[in-house]
Chains A and B, each alone.
Chain A
Amino acid sequence: MSVWNLTRRNMLALAAAALVSGGAVGSATAQETIKVGVLHSLSGTMAISETTLKDVMLMLIEEQNRKGGLLGKKLEAVVVDPASNWPLFAEKARELISNEKVAAVFGCWTSVSRKSVLPVFKELNSILFYPVQYEGEESERNVFYTGAAPNQQAIPAVDYLAKEENVERWVLAGTDYVYPRTTNKILEAYLKSKGVKSEDIMINYTPFGHSDWQTIVADIKKFGSAGKKTAVVSTINGDANVPFYKELANQGVKATDIPVVAFSVGEEELAGIDTKPLVGHLAAWNYFQSIDNADNKAFIEKWKAFTKNDKRVTNDPMEAHVVGFNMWVKAVEKAGTTDPDKVIDAIVGVQVPNLTGGVSEMLPNHHITKPVFIGEIKDDGQFDVVWETEGLVPGDAWSKFLDGSKDLIADWKTLKCGNYNTVTRKCGA
């Protein structure tokens, strides 16, 4: 008994000492560094995409520190692994904000992970930069969407196909979850508003990780042989793409017959496929590695040097993090503090150069302006840009083509509202 007591007392003392010293160290570092949270899955199914984004954040933070840090302090990256587990995203976000006291968080990939952390960021009033193209229909005070909204990716891609390839029949193929479903709903409404008949639209959903595409590719072939030019608009996610493209190649569906335009296939995804049979299939993004300008070249050089791998590729969500991070740095400098409320107010209107030769601006709806590019797959796994928008396209938080959202606007500067109804003139209706 006495031994137990002694031990417990010792333990208590130890714990107290640890607490004190830990607290002291904590407060000392808090004065010296500004912490930046990185919330990307490093294990599980999404690690394939998100690990790269973690590396980009580390590179950006290292670079900023070399330039002298921010507000005279060094930046410090706090990396956590939410392991592709949606509830864990919320826990890890809470840990970053409450325990680590980070100034801002860069993270999430899937929409479901973003939805899972939203309440945490609202409750604890912090800032999230979300770098991936998504379905729109959202605008939150604490979130900055640096990826594309549907009007910055899907709609221009469909316009390109209709205009340049004279496509009249459409296959909307997607993985069965919120992003493809919402995007396809918007596209369907958009196509119908352009006079496309319902029998010329085929919608198909497949489960996550679907690997047997024989029937669906055969169906697409059949749908495409009705005498009208046909194209596939693909919102197929991640892992399911490789078997899909392999099946297309094997069944002899060539880009000159039925082009596939994808919204989730970039340089990183193509690294795992032999792209020779895919030449000519398309992707719509706001950035391609092959875009030729000095900023992009310098970025690719830095990235290859940082990862010590000459074969590493760059992609669109990486550029979104670059733009988002630079915007945050500028806003903090403008506000003179990392206090979330002040940064949220300061960041709207901030302009930073993107990597494609333009200047992106943070809009009052917390989306940014972006150029849109259509690229054709080349045999070396890169893209050849065949079309781009004139100037930058401002992101729409709410789609103009859906009944439920066409009257809504988001404006965090003057209206201080993410879903203002312009008809009823009320916020939140």
Chain B
Amino acid sequence: MIILRHLLAAFAVLIGMASSAFAGVYEDALPKFAADSYAETDAAISAVAGSGHPLSLKVVEAVRDGRLLVSSGQIIIREPSGNLISAVTGQAFGPTPSGLKPVRINNRVRRAIEAALGSLTLLSSDPAARLQAARAVFRSRDETALPNLETAITQETDANVKGALQIARAAVLLGASGTSTADRLKAVEALQARGDQDALALLSTLPVGVQPEVADAAGKAVESIRSRLAFWNALQNVWYGISLGSVLLLAAIGLAITFGTMGVINMAHGEMVMLGAYTTFVVQEAIRTYAPELFGISLFLSLPLAFVVAGAVGILIERTVIRFLYGRPLETLLATWGLSLILQQTVRTIFGPTNREVGTPAWMSGALEIGGLSLTYNRIAIVIFAFAAFATLLLVMRYTSLGLYMRAVTQNRRMAGSMGIRTNRIDALAFGLGSGVAGIAGVALSQIDNVSPNLGQSYIIDSFMVVVFGGVGNLWGTLVGAMTLGIANKFLEPYAGAVLGKIVLLVAIILFIQRRPRGLFALRGRAVEA
């Protein structure tokens, strides 16, 4: 039995040698895809990419998309159109064979694909593809791509792509063995000009046996990049702070009305945020089913609905529970806390306890790179949205009759009543407004947090903290409070860690409230009179 196996193995070797004698690198590499081993697939991809065979790009793309199929040793490409072609000849494949299985990929194979596509698409006619290829080569630093890279640089017309190609060339040259001192120095210079985290990594891990001049220049370059990055880092922290602050602001402005101006300790505020998030989920589900082409604007469609749903629930709560409890803060606290549990469990019963998927529209994915800053689009959108919501609310309070009545009732309820304002109705509307604003905050927060029945709980403490810190009854105070807390948190986090940072902040607020019990901006209101 063992002898037989040896014989078979010997035969296999013989056949392999025979075929390699007649066929090229490409044909030799293909059978490795059938081995169902990541190491073999990895090797096959590098070989195919380096073979120069006209089908090689098709094969690599097919592996990436799971369209390279194997059936009893035959390698078949399924074209994006669905047609099957043979990977060996490129001819249409006859009847569909049984037991077609795609070649499996893992991270190692994905990296090989990325590198292979990089060197294969450097000369593509599409500038976007070339740019991506240049970045892929920069990451893989594959020496075999160098000739292609040189050709691409001389042919390139797009300045942006050319820059990326030159950086990629510098990265390859710096690491390649046998690069001259002059070339290496130029590479160091190019990388220093790029000056980002990746360049820093390349410059600080030079290959062994590098020329001393180069090591010297690289050392200096590392120093200059470090100081540059430290500056951008501080800016980045400010941005993180603003973005956290705008999340806090969104969560808190609704509460600034219900708690801030009306004085209702509303523990169910977080659940209004949650209702807004679930409204977004329902809207998106409806859009997915009935009008998928509207998905890009699903969030805009959700905004008015979330406002109405959360606002309506808010008015219902005010009319049925809270209005009987004005002036009794402890009872209000307990009643609204109970309401928050009821709302949570209701949502859990209707939608189930697991997270619901709220999709991110394409225009909110990815990041914008400015200098050393990386601003993610979803955070930018949330910052803009938070400020817009704040401005709108400010205008409503300042320039509409509802705003005027609300301020009047807050400042002096009896006088406002004597002037003919129906204070009861204003109470309900104000509570509805605060809840509605919490609802639209839920639309925004569904983009960065879980949409689960517990969504609101994680924001309630932070919201109260912001409102109390900023000064009860003042919208500007809420804005300044949210931004201060956000930025302070983000500057503490790198040094103290997320857990300790939060504790430090809480202690600071407690001390601050001791000194100024009414927060940053104190205002007269019903809460103050009480």
> Which A residues are within 8 Å of any B CB, using their own CB?
42-43, 45, 47-48, 51-52, 164-165, 176, 204-207, 209-212, 214-216, 218-219, 221-222, 225-228, 239, 242-243, 246-247, 249-252, 255-257, 259, 268-269, 271-274, 277, 280, 376, 384, 386
Contacts and interface: CB of A to CB of B under 8 A. Distances in A.
Contacts of B204: 226-227
Interface string B189-220: 00000000110111011000000000000000
Contacts of A257: 139
Interface string B483-512: 000000110011001110010000000000
Given A45-B454, A48-B353, A207-B498, 15 more contacts: A47-B348, A214-B243, A214-B376, A215-B240, A218-B240, A227-B205, A239-B355, A243-B448, A247-B376, A250-B365, A255-B110, A269-B355, A272-B450, A376-B107, A384-B106
Contact of B502 (A207, A221, A280): A207
B355 A225 contact: no
B506 to A, nearest CB: 12
Contact of B499 (A207, A211, A269, A274): A207
Interface stretch (B159-167, B330-338, B356-364, B424-432): B356-364
A325 to B, nearest CB: 22
B357 A274 contact: yes
Contacts of A227: 201-202, 204-205
A250 B376 contact: yes
Given A227-B205, A246-B448, A274 B498 contact: no
A255 B105 CA distance: 13
A44 to B, nearest CB: 8
10 residue pairs, one from A and one from B, having the closest CB atoms: A272-B355, A227-B205, A250-B376, A47-B353, A225-B201, A206-B498, A386-B106, A214-B240, A225-B197, A242-B450
B458 interface: yes
At the interface, is chain B mostly helix, strand, loop or mixed? helix
B237 A215 contact: yes
B354 A272 contact: yes
Interface string B341-380: 0001100100011111101100001110000001011110
Contacts of B198: 225
Contact of A280 (B107, B353, B378): B107
B60 interface: no
A255 B107 contact: yes
A239 B497 contact: no
Given A251-B374, A280-B107, A211 B365 contact: no
A375 to B, nearest CB: 10
A226 B448 contact: no
22 contacts: A204-B498, A206-B499, A210-B498, A214-B240, A214-B379, A215-B493, A216-B498, A225-B201, A227-B205, A243-B449, A243-B450, A246-B360, A247-B448, A250-B377, A250-B379, A251-B374, A256-B107, A259-B107, A272-B356, A272-B357, A384-B106, A386-B104
Interface in B97-155: 104, 106-108, 110-111, 114, 139
Given A216-B498, A226-B201, A386-B106, A48 B244 contact: no
A225 B357 contact: no
A390 B448 CA distance: 40
B214 to A, nearest CB: 16
A228 B204 CA distance: 11
A204 B497 contact: yes
B356 A280 contact: no
Contacts of B463: none
Nearest to A280: B107
Given A222-B197, A249-B365, A256 B353 contact: no
B345 A43 contact: yes
B74 interface: no
